[in-house]
Structure 1
């Protein structure tokens, strides 16, 4: 695999990165318009000005960089993009702007995480709805098999879980270690997540010997929730 090579940083480029990070639009425009700072200049990790502005949620800087021709789909050495950064931190306006101007919704970090996965991890419901409406794959897992529904369940984001299930998320999708969203929610004690998952009749026997999530938690409310479903399914 060939190694990426990035442009050498200069004092003016460093000043542009500072402006993008702080949301100083006036300074950023001044530097870009000087003709001495490339709109797609990168740091030693391949981070661009657009990625920095997107990460921080500075929508005015993002719009200016896009207007000046920034390449929206450039990737860092770890696979990161401006869209991935904005999705990870729930910057709705930035995500919307990037998608409008052609951001690749299917780009992934080196570990396979997508923009939808990162938004699900953070519980950013508006961003998730936008990504799904724009064609994001609801069941796209990371390399370790962790799907967006699984990570949302682990983090206790019940509304995100509900939306993903309604959009066709696989309720029984397991990570490479065999754990499912229901098991993780039970272990974590997230009653509201379990309630949403149970509405879609997930498989309760999900480990060897049909071990149930109910047997792995000491939360009595969760035990009652799971057993209320377990009984009818065995009859």
Structure 2
């Protein structure tokens, strides 16, 4: 994973949402920007469904890579005004629904604390799927 203090994905994505354009700038898939965000987190915050889909198709992407606050794309997707990104992330078997942020909260805990019942209902099936997969 590459860390950079010289650019912001928010700034880059304000000019393009083409994954090819981002990669042409020499940015690696799991790079963090100056704010500690990954490209997947930034695309999620921008609510760019097509870019999130394209990123999830990339080999080597760490879908659970947190930002500097320990928050993942899944955690940020809960605040998205549209559910498709959240549903797309939850449908990816690599998503760790039990991953904790720097305060020890999981996506399910955050959604429950915020009273986001619809989101809790979306997180629960993957939560139980991941629990059943553990030995």
TM-score range, shorter chain: 0.7 to 0.9
Gaps of 5+ in 2: 129-135
- Give the structure with the larger helix fraction: 1
CA–CA distance in 1 between the matches of 2:110 and 2:79? 5
- Match for residue 132 of structure 1? 124
Alignment partner of 1:39 is 2:32: no
Cα distance, 1:90 vs structure 2:
5.6
Query: Is 1:118 equivalent to 2:114 in the alignment?
Result: no
Q: Following TM superposition, where does structure 1 have runs of at least 4 consecutive aligned residues deviating by more than 3 angstroms?
A: 88-91, 121-125
Cα deviation for residue 83 of structure 1 reads 0.7
TM-score, L = length of structure 2: 0.74
* Alignment-derived partner of residue 93 in structure 1: 84
Task: Verify the 8 A CA contact 1:90 1:127 in the aligned structure 2.
Answer: no
Q: 1:78 to 1:84 in 2, by over 3 A?
A: same
State the match for 2:69 in structure 1: 78
Q: Which has the larger radius of gyration?
A: 1
1:202-221 paired onto structure 2 within 5 Å: none
Cα RMSD for the two superposed structures: 2.7
Which of residues 48, 65, 68 in structure 1 aligns to 2:38?
48
Q: Deviations over 1:169-188 (max 9, x none)?
A: xxxxxxxxxxxxxxxxxxxx
Residue of structure 1 equivalent to 2:20: 29
CA distance in 1 between partners of 2:3 and 2:72 (Å)? 17
Report the CA distance between 1:42 and its aligned residue. Answer: 0.6
Aligned match of 2:49:
59
Aligned residues: 126
Answer 1 or 2: higher relative contact order, Cα 8 Å, separation at least 6.
2
The 1:38/1:6 distance shift into structure 2, 3 A limit, reads: closer
